[in-house]
């Protein structure tokens, strides 16, 4: 199965559209960080459809070191793994970065479309789709400063028309056959605009629910297909109970 099929299967099995962002705050010794990550994953696995990890967990644990225990656990639970690496370099470097993450066991990577296609992200898509992996593009991030980049006005070089950067990125997500588009849950209107452009050709992944201020119902109604949820679950006193509540709220939205 390719990445889209894998995550669709877990959605069906668990009746959940939560991607758990297993991005934990620093903790020493590092084996305590590993134990915490494994504990949260074990407690919440039945209420989520995928796991997202970013560099703040990879850096202290090592890609081919202790991180492998988390990857192994996720695979035992039959949960797809997304590496939130935000690939954003020249093509040959991007390809090597993606290759390492896929070899480590990840099913998809995130990438920044600012670098473009030729000698940019084309090699990433090629290696990903050749091996049944996924590429999820950043279209509009969830933080307050997102408008400075993703919200700027740019010229479409093909048509000469002026447009917003995130709208141009949404069109690229379709053109490049991306496996997902990230649009912050903190900006439901942006989700709705992107949904109009990509229709149902590319699923929308929305981070920012909870501590960043994003609302579950608003994001889902605007068109989000998956909600990426991190600190609301990982910092909760009862991670499993919180994950279940969020799952149920998504299903009722």
Catalytic residue (one of 69, 75, 86, 99): 86
**Whether residue 86 lies in the annotated active site:** yes
Coil vs helix vs strand at 178: coil
Q: Where would I find the H helices in the chain?
A: 3-14, 30-44, 55-61, 67-76, 91-104, 122-130, 165-175, 188-198, 216-222, 231-234, 239-252
pLDDT by residue (tens digit) across 168-193?
Answer: 999 999 999 999 999 999 999 999 99
**Structural domains of the chain ordered from first start:** 3-252 (3.20.20.70)
Rounded to two decimals, the pTM is 0.96
| Beta-strand pair 153-155/162-164 | antiparallel
CA 63 to chain centre: 18
Mean pLDDT of the 66-93 span: 97
CA gap 111, 15 in Å, rounded: 27
Q: Predicted confidence band at 29 (pLDDT cuts at 50, 70, 90)?
A: confident
Q: Is the peptide bond before 29 cis (omega within 30 degrees of 0)?
A: yes
């Amino acid at each position: 199965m390719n990445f889209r099929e894998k995550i669709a299967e877990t959605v069906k099995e668990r009746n959940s559209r939560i991607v758990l962002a297993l991005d934990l705050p620093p903790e020493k010794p590092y084996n305590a960080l590993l134990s915490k990550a494994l504990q949260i994953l074990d407690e919440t696995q039945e209420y989520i459809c995928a796991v997202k990890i970013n560099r703040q967990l990879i850096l202290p644990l090592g890609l081919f070191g202790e991180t492998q225990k988390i990857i192994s656990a996720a695979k035992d639970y039959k949960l797809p793994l997304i590496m939130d690496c935000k690939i954003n370099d020249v093509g040959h470097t991007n390809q090597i970065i993606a290759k390492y993450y896929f070899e480590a066991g990840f099913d998809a990577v995130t990438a920044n479309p600012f670098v473009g296609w030729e000698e940019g992200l084309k090699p990433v898509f090629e290696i990903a789709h050749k091996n049944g992996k996924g590429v999820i593009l950043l279209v509009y991030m969830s933080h307050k400063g997102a408008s400075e980049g993703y919200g700027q006005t740019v010229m479409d070089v093909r048509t000469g028309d002026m447009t917003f950067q995130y709208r141009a990125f949404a069109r690229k997500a379709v053109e490049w056959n991306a496996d997902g588009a990230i649009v912050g849950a903190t900006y439901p209107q942006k989700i709705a605009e992107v949904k109009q452009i990509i229709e149902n050709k590319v699923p929308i992944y929305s981070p920012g629910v909870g501590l960043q201020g994003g609302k579950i119902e608003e994001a889902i109604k605007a068109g989000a297909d998956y909600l990426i949820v991190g600190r609301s679950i990982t910092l909760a006193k009862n991670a499993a109970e919180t994950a279940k509540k969020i799952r149920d709220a998504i299903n009722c939205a």
